[in-house]
């Protein structure tokens, strides 16, 4: 019971903590992301609270109907998954399907009818894992299937947002949301299977295996949901090590690309930088690497104009006054053609962060096509930072 008390307390903490943000949101009355996500936490808190057995019994005695707490738990969870799924459509800036509202209404109606016909007359029990009559099976499977289906919406939404997010702290939050919905989906699938097996054979050995998995899954869901509602400052702090490593990898890959371009287009600025200096200001050196790549990209474009898109060696092309042509062999010409084609796939009007990512992809593409090991372009880590 104490595990349910702790989980419910965490849920109410999130609900109360986020209430002020929801109230201050000027669009909450007409439906906004803040309101939908707060409503999700509210109904989740209600459902989790009634799962605590003494609270469940006290509620039923107060209203005078047996197992009404069971119905309220299921309706609360149905509303919770509905609100978070609806919030996902707002995040994606897509219209919410009408079927969502109708499916919620149908689910609540089915639950209410089954409760009135077959659940209200049953004795109260603390464990609703093993159904004893067909009415319980229908009652349980209705909510399990509904929530499992709707869990797919936030699950795919959050992983899609995480894959396309450029800001590391925001990406971490989307990943936390994904894992919360993923574990919820997994728990519901286990419950669907377990309900059928337990109804057919209450003594099935599957209970000893699947029931602990459900408990672990519920704990994981509660932890990730709590993490998902943490303030942005905590995510920004947690993201700093990842941002540092991400920039370090980006700089290595940009330098690797630059080092492939230098033999073909001699750089204007040469010299060697110490690794300590580079690590002290990664943004500055990322910018320097981009400038060097842009310069080489422009130079290759000029060579392409003199060599029929790099199909001829520059030394065999018609010499233009005032232009010094490089001395390439056939292998360098082939490398220059590959680099030129790859660099032209990047539009340089993008924001800085997007540009870094785009040229990282170019570096990987060139490395793969040239069949060169990742470490080439420098025999050691600090060699890759040559300028």
Choice between 380 and 76, residue whose per-residue pLDDT is larger: 76
- The Cα–Cα gap between 109 and 138 comes to 13
Weakest-pLDDT range from 189-198, 269-278, 343-352, 364-373 = 269-278
Q: Which range of residues forms the domain containing residue 44? A: 2-230
Q: Say if residue 143 is in the same domain as residue 159.
A: yes
Confidence band, pLDDT 50/70/90 cuts, at residue 379:
very low
Q: What is the pLDDT of residues 168-212, one digit of tens each?
A: 888 899 999 999 999 999 999 999 999 999 898 888 888 888 888
Q: Are 73 and 50 in contact (CB under 8 A)?
A: yes
385 pLDDT higher than 50: no
**Degrees (nearest 5) of the Cα angle 279, 283, 284?**
90
Q: Are 64 and 130 in contact (CB under 8 A)?
A: no
Confidence band, pLDDT 50/70/90 cuts, at residue 387:
very low
Q: Are 65 and 120 in contact (CB under 8 A)?
A: yes
> Residues 6 or more apart from 20 whose CB is under 8 A from it?
none
Q: What is the percentage of the chain residues whose pLDDT exceeds 90?
A: 28
Q: How many CB atoms lie within 10 A of CB 364?
A: 15
Weakest-pLDDT range from 4-13, 122-131, 207-216, 369-378 = 369-378
Of 82, 88, 76, 107, the C-alpha closest to 11 is 76
Q: Say if residue 153 is in the same domain as residue 30.
A: yes
Q: Say if residue 218 is in the same domain as residue 275.
A: no
Q: Say if residue 209 is in the same domain as residue 296.
A: no
**Degrees (nearest 5) of the Cα angle 106, 39, 184?**
70
Q: Say if residue 161 is in the same domain as residue 98.
A: yes
Q: Which CATH number does the domain housing residue 53 bear?
A: 1.20.1070
Give, as one character, the DSSP assignment of residue 167. S
Confidence band, pLDDT 50/70/90 cuts, at residue 17:
confident
Confidence band, pLDDT 50/70/90 cuts, at residue 127:
confident
What is the mean pLDDT of the segment spanning 307-336?
A: 67
Average pLDDT score over the chain: 83
Q: Say if residue 64 is in the same domain as residue 168.
A: yes
Q: Say if residue 136 is in the same domain as residue 24.
A: yes
Q: Say if residue 211 is in the same domain as residue 257.
A: no
Number of domains into which the chain is organized: 2
Q: Say if residue 261 is in the same domain as residue 360.
A: yes
Confidence band, pLDDT 50/70/90 cuts, at residue 44:
very high
31 pLDDT higher than 80: no
Which of 230, 255, 282 is a domain's end point? 230
Which of 196, 230, 264 is a domain's end point? 230
Confidence band, pLDDT 50/70/90 cuts, at residue 309:
confident
Q: Are 158 and 175 in contact (CB under 8 A)?
A: yes
Q: Are 363 and 257 in contact (CB under 8 A)?
A: yes
380 pLDDT higher than 50: no
Q: Say if residue 252 is in the same domain as residue 304.
A: yes
Query: So what's the pLDDT on residue 28?
Result: 60
Q: Say if residue 259 is in the same domain as residue 213.
A: no
356 pLDDT higher than 80: yes
Q: Say if residue 223 is in the same domain as residue 250.
A: no
386 pLDDT higher than 50: no
pTM, rounded to two decimals: 0.71
Which of 230, 263, 282 is a domain's end point? 230
């Amino acid at each position: 019971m104490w595990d349910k008390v702790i989980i419910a307390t965490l849920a109410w903490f999130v609900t109360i903590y986020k209430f002020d943000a929801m109230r201050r949101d000027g669009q909450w009355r007409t439906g906004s992301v803040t309101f939908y996500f707060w409503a999700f936490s509210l109904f989740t808190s209600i459902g989790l609270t009634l799962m605590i057995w003494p609270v469940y019994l006290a509620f039923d005695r107060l209203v005078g109907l047996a197992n009404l707490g069971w119905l309220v738990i299921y309706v609360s969870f149905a509303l919770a998954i509905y609100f978070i799924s609806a919030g996902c459509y707002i995040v994606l800036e897509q219209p919410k399907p009408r079927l969502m509202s109708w499916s919620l209404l149908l689910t609540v109606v089915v639950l209410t009818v089954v409760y009135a016909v077959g659940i209200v007359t049953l004795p109260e029990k603390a464990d609703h894992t093993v159904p004893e009559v067909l009415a319980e099976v229908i009652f349980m499977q209705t909510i399990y299937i509904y929530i499992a289906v709707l869990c797919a919406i936030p699950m795919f939404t959050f992983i899609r947002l995480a894959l396309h997010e450029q800001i590391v702290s925001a990406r971490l939050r989307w990943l936390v949301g994904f894992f919360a919905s993923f574990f919820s989906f997994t728990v519901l699938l286990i419950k669907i299977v377990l309900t059928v097996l337990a109804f057919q054979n209450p003594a099935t050995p599957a209970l000893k295996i699947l029931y602990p998995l459900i408990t672990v899954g519920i704990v994981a869901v509660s932890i990730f949901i709590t993490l998902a509602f943490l303030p942005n400052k905590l995510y920004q702090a947690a993201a700093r090590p990842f941002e540092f490593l991400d920039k370090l990898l980006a700089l290595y890959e940009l330098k690797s690309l630059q080092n492939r371009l230098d033999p073909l287009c001699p750089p204007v600025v040469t010299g060697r930088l110490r690794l300590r200096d580079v690590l002290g200001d990664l943004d500055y050196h990322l910018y320097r690497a981009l400038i060097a790549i842009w310069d080489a990209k422009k130079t290759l474009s000029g060579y392409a104009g003199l060599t029929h898109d790099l199909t001829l060696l520059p030394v065999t092309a018609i010499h233009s006054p005032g232009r010094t042509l490089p001395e390439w062999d056939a292998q360098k010409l082939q490398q220059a053609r590959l680099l030129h084609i790859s660099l032209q796939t990047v539009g340089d009007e993008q924001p800085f962060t997007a540009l870094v990512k785009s040229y990282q992809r170019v570096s990987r593409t060139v490395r793969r096509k040239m069949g060169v090991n990742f470490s080439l372009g420098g025999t050691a880590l600090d060699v890759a930072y040559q300028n």
